[in-house]
Chain A
Amino acid sequence: SQKIEQNSEALNIQEGKTATLTCNYTNYSPAYLQWYRQDPGRGPVFLLLIRENEKEKRKERLKVTFDTTLKQSLFHITASQPADSATYLCALNDYKLSFGAGTTVTVRA
């Protein structure tokens, strides 16, 4: 089974800076990789999906990259805001979703 590692448990950044989160996996590359946001005591909310043949995907201030050679996805939040504070989960989609443990981002005003 896949082992999914998100590089750090917590990330603290200043408002306006870019947060960069890493998701590494160990086995085969999934056809799709997804990123979710989870607030405390709530279920995950879908943010972005990237396909294995896509290098980069953007949505507003969010950017995701997918490198199947490195077996890695990077998730960027640009011009971060305190409202972006949450836990971000990466998930590999191979007909079932396998989640990483998440990285908690705190944006300081």
Chain B
Amino acid sequence: GAVVSQHPSWVICKSGTSVKIECRSLDFQATTMFWYRQFPKQSLMLMATSNEGSKATYEQGVEKDKFLINHASLTLSTLTVTSAHPEDSSFYICSARVGTSGLTDTQYFGPGTRLTVL
């Protein structure tokens, strides 16, 4: 149980184009979903937190107009990287949390999406 999927698993795009990444909780309803970015040999950095039906909360330094997050249902969140540039190339990972306790509820992570911008 508690499986989170991401699609696509990898994507290559040209500079200036937009890319959409989907995150789904397959066997549970997630009250909250999170989007992280990870550069090689670095830690996961939280980009934004989203609750179903609400606007996402972005971390300091993350451009909300560039990284559009939509959380339309309890099982689906999407991240759209708009006007992608080579510096946006990274490993994007989503996670989903059941319940409302931010401290004790486990986050389940997706397998990640490798984005390469040429």
Contact = CB atoms under 8 A, between A and B. Distances in A.
Interface of A: 4, 9, 31-32, 36, 41-46, 49, 89, 93-102
A89 B44 contact: yes
Contact of A32 (B42, B49, B103, B109): B103
B107 A97 contact: yes
Interface in B26-64: 34, 41-46, 49
Interface string B1-13: 0001010000000
Interface stretch (B14-22, B68-76, B78-86, B110-118): B110-118
Interface residues of B, number: 24
B95 interface: yes
Chain B binding surface SS class: strand
B49 A43 contact: no
Nearest to A95: B102
A32 B14 CA distance: 42
Among A44, A46, A102, the one with the most B-chain Cβ atoms within 10 Å of its Cβ is A44
A101 B102 contact: no
10 contacts: A32-B103, A36-B109, A43-B109, A49-B104, A93-B102, A93-B103, A95-B102, A96-B46, A99-B43, A101-B42
Given A96-B49, A100-B43, A31 B111 contact: no
B114 A41 contact: yes
A108 to B, nearest CB: 21
B105 to A, nearest CB: 10
Contact of B112 (A42, A49, A93): A42
B114 A31 contact: no
